[in-house]
Every structure is written in structure tokens, then in C-alpha cells.
Amino acid sequence: MAKKIVIGADHGAFELKAKIIKHLKSCGFQVKNMGVDTSDSVDYPDMAEKTCKEYLSGNYDFGIVCCGTGIGISISANKVDGIRCALPQNIFGAEMSKLHNNANFIAFGGRIEYQDSVTDMLDAFIDAEFEGGRHQRRVDKIMGLEA
């Protein structure tokens, strides 16, 4: 069965979101697009909330959020209970966010010039599997901060 991904972005990253969706679909993933698809201004906290709540409604493998820098939308996503959103700057960071932090969301900036391509970082995130063990204890502590 194909992995299911939910993705949302603000106006600062709608073009990057379209590129990500195209890549994911070419890899056989099912993608739910939460918007936006134009340069009309929207608030990234609203897009983070909408996308995270859709993810939490069930049956998604992970979520993606994007804004101009990725910073504001990742901070917003991390305010939603149950979300661990990574904002990687390179392939290593993307991979480690899954291996050690079991991130269930990944964020990117549409106005950032990354050294590694977003699709390469995304692929590293997708291919990585959480290692568990001592890392599970740390993830539990991260999630405990929500209490």
C-alpha cells in the first residue's frame, strides 16, 4: 500500500510545495494537499494547524509543511500536541530527524537556497527508520514536555 502524506504551505512556499508533491507522486505516494496554491497571503500558523490536524485525524505516514523560511511554520507545527516537526538544513539533518527523533513532520523554506536539494533531503527522511532504543527514551521526554 502506498504511503500517505499530507502537505501544506503558505504563500511563501506554494511553488516548492508543488515541486514536492510532483516528486512524491512520481515515487508512488498518495498526497493530500492542504493548500495554498497561489501567492495570495495567508498566515503560516493557520496552515500548520490545518495540516497537522489533518495528519492527526489518521492514516498518514508523515506530514510536510513549508513557508518562506520553514521556521515559522515548523515552530507552529511543533505547538500542536503529537507533532515532532524537523527543519533540516541538509541531508544528514533530514535523516537524523527520523533516525533519532522519530519526526513525524518535516519543514522546508521556499525562499531558502539549500546546499542539498529539498527532494534529496525528503528522500533521506523517507528512507530513514527510527532506531528506537535510547532514542525512544528521549522522544518520550520530548513528548512529555507537552504535558
pLDDT tens for the chain, 147 residues: list them.
679 999 999 999 999 999 999 999 999 999 999 999 999 999 999 999 999 999 999 899 999 999 999 999 999 999 999 999 999 999 999 999 999 999 999 999 999 999 999 999 999 999 999 999 999 999 999 999 998
Domain that holds residue 20: 4-144
Nearest CA to 83 out of 145, 34, 27 is that of 145
Q: H or E element: which one contains 59? A: none
- Domain total in the chain: 1
Q: Is 100 a catalytic residue?
A: yes
CATH number at residue 16: 3.40.1400.10
Catalytic residue among 11, 67, 85, 135: 67
Q: Is 27 a catalytic residue?
A: no
Q: How many angstroms separate the CA atoms of 16 and 146, rounded?
A: 30
Question: CA-CA distances (angstroms) from residue 113 to 70, 101, 116, 132?
Answer: 12, 25, 9, 32
What cell numbers appear for 58 in the block?
Answer: 489518521
Question: CA-CA distances (angstroms) from residue 48 to 3, 145, 147?
Answer: 21, 20, 20
